[in-house]
Chain A
């Protein structure tokens, strides 16, 4: 990248700025630390300091049927969304990269819209479609909502992957007599492997966490965030701290996997997605 002529600017000390940065970190992490700490507090959430250690809330959590039903629902919806969004996102990325058709610019913006619009807009629009089509609200509508909204993530990620791909390999494959179908499976797809994994992980996490769109599309069966939401209306219980702590640990595990994939790989530029919201 840029030549570092001297290291002066990066080593100059700025004690006030350092303290300020430490405070910002403290602010960002405070709620997470409190959340985890109080999931082990025998006296429940609230009060200071937390005095007696307990695993009681985790015991209750593991015995809680409805929570685990909702976890299963969320996993099913998330897995389905990954499949749907990756398939359509891959086709959309290929179309944006290789085909030209009327309304292409509009199509590009439309696909990305759910990423930038407040969830309530996308959620309500899809609710109106469901009512318009006479569809019953259920996990199926939630899955269609998540899958559709998250095509944006898959398209961004896979389009970036395609842009970095060496086109000559595909040309060689086609010139040497492979059919477009063979070329797709043997050249294009393997080259996009890292982008596909990164996008898949991102979509899975986003779907597991999604609440704004889900809120309007949910039927009788809850996803995990909506199950937690319903309980919050009835009051705070340390069990929610326990499940939140588990979600946190799970998310961090996914990030670690994601970075492993990224640092090993060439393209997979999901950071770009986050940097350019």
Chain B
């Protein structure tokens, strides 16, 4: 029912825009990863040196490993907080369900930076938590190890991604037909059995979506380490950022960014595959 002119009119502008402002930049990122720097200038000299450097220098691998560990911890902690919360809301909250749902959403809208800053004021050696501990006479010296550590990064990112993880899990729990749960109970399964054999398997797609999201976004985060991580909390994206800044080696930075991109896209692809297998409909 729509004419060719109509279709062309709606398709062409976004196609051109996306080609120019998304596809071209991502392509430039790939191109840079095969270029080199000579005497402070990026030269278009195609080679694999950057990837060889990444492969042979153990420092990059160590940082990547630490980043994975941090992202893994964030994902696990967000699941441990988000899943029970979603389960509670979906199965036990009764009339308060809608209100509690809104309460989980609100922090999602609070700026990332503001929340990071809040943790900084809480964890610092002259921060709120140390003040609290000294007020209770639990300690007389400020506890210094809280801020500027991988722990602080995990804490801050868990705080940010718990609501994100909660949402898809809650959605998949809400989609479970209640008669299935009741049938399981009527046929003599206990609460634990019902949970592990009916509810948990049916919520796998939501769980996976949330976990992938938390992992992927933590993996590429560079602000949390700058804000609360200190030197011991440096992550792979910080390396990229410093290569693009002070160290001025854009090609090497681009090579690492390409690696992050590839890891991210493979994880998304994988999780989409597994999700499809586990969804029922």
Contacts and interface: CB of A to CB of B under 8 A. Distances in A.
**Interface hub of B17, B82, B221 (most chain A Cβ within 10 A):** B17
A236 B109 CA distance: 23
Contact of B22 (A6, A38, A110, A252): A110
A46 B111 contact: no
Where chain A touches its partner, the secondary structure class is helix
Contacts of B28: 125, 128-129, 132
B113 A228 contact: yes
Interface residues of B, number: 100
A210 to B, nearest CB: 9
Contacts of B7: 95, 98-99, 101
A67 interface: no
A101 B10 CA distance: 11
A25 to B, nearest CB: 7
A185 to B, nearest CB: 13
B1 A174 contact: yes
B216 A9 contact: no
Contacts of A98: 2, 6-7, 10
A275 B117 contact: no
Contact of A118 (B121, B122, B135, B237): B237
A244 B223 CA distance: 17
A114 B17 CA distance: 14
Where chain B touches its partner, the secondary structure class is helix
Contacts of B118: 31-32, 34-35, 244
Nearest to B134: A48
B262 to A, nearest CB: 11
A240 B117 contact: yes
A266 interface: no
Contact of A205 (B85, B109, B115, B159): B109
Contact of B117 (A129, A205, A228, A254): A228
A176 interface: no
Contacts of A113: 22, 26
B103 interface: yes
A174 B2 CA distance: 10
Given A48-B132, A251-B109, A180 B121 contact: no
Interface residues of A, number: 93
B89 interface: yes
B257 A120 contact: yes
Contacts of A225: 111, 113
A241 B117 CA distance: 9
A31 B119 contact: yes
A209 B170 CA distance: 26
Given A14-B92, A216-B244, A88 B17 contact: yes
Given A110-B23, A128-B29, A209 B6 contact: no
A126 B23 contact: no
Contacts, number: 267
A46 B162 contact: no
B258 to A, nearest CB: 9
Contact of B14 (A92, A170, A205, A252): A92
B131 interface: yes
A29 interface: yes
A101 B11 contact: yes
B264 A116 contact: yes
Contacts of B196: none
A257 to B, nearest CB: 12
A49 interface: yes
A63 interface: no
A251 B110 contact: yes
Contacts of A92: 14, 18
A254 B109 contact: yes
Contacts of A47: 126, 128, 131
30 contacts: A5-B179, A9-B181, A17-B92, A21-B88, A25-B103, A35-B121, A89-B14, A98-B2, A99-B10, A110-B23, A116-B264, A117-B261, A118-B217, A120-B222, A121-B29, A121-B220, A127-B244, A128-B250, A144-B21, A148-B22, A212-B223, A225-B113, A232-B120, A236-B117, A236-B124, A247-B114, A248-B114, A252-B109, A255-B105, A277-B210
Task: Identify the 7 closest CB pairs spanning chains A and B, nearest first.
Answer: A118-B220, A48-B131, A125-B25, A31-B118, A99-B7, A92-B14, A21-B88
Interface of B: 1-3, 5-8, 10-11, 13-15, 17-18, 21-26, 28-29, 32, 81-82, 84-85, 87-89, 91-92, 94, 100, 102-115, 117-122, 124, 126-128, 130-132, 134-135, 159, 162-164, 167-168, 170-171, 177-179, 181-182, 185, 209-210, 213, 216-217, 219-223, 227, 237, 240-241, 244, 250, 253-254, 257, 260-261, 264, 268
